[in-house]
């Protein structure tokens, strides 16, 4: 069953373009990933949404996700509350609404 992962980021002031450029450089041929979109949710705030074949494919992609994060980690602010610089969630689709 299709799975999604969503990761929230807050970029340090003045580092937005660097953050976006790091994502633009990422290879887009990750096995099992159907789609990925980076959206701007507020001032210096972004969220990436990835669609995967299934949870196994998503889990297999985690090393690439971490390596990608490491390439721009220094552009991110700590989100507070013990989260660190990202707020990731993931899971399988349980109800397709459209």
- Please write the tens of the pLDDT for every residue from 39-87: 999 999 999 999 999 999 999 999 999 999 999 999 999 999 999 999 9
* Contact between residue 55 and residue 92 where contact means Cβ atoms under 8 Å apart: yes
d(CA 16, CA 14): 6
- In the chain the domains, ranked by start, together with CATH numbers, are 3-85 (3.30.70.100)
- Rounded to 10 degrees, what is the CA torsion of 24, 30, 34, 38? -30
Residue 27, pLDDT > 90, answer: no
Q: Is the pTM of this model over 0.75?
A: yes
């Amino acid at each position: 069953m299709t799975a999604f992962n969503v990761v929230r980021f807050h970029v340090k002031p003045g580092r937005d373009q660097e953050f976006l450029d790091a994502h633009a450089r990422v290879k887009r041929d990750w096995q099992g990933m159907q789609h990925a979109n980076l959206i701007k949710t507020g001032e210096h705030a972004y969220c990436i949404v990835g669609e995967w074949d299934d949870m196994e494919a998503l889990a297999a992609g985690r090393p690439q996700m971490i390596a990608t994060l490491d390439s721009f980690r220094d552009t991110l602010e700590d989100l507070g509350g013990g989260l660190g610089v990202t707020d990731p969630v993931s899971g399988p689709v349980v109800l397709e609404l459209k």
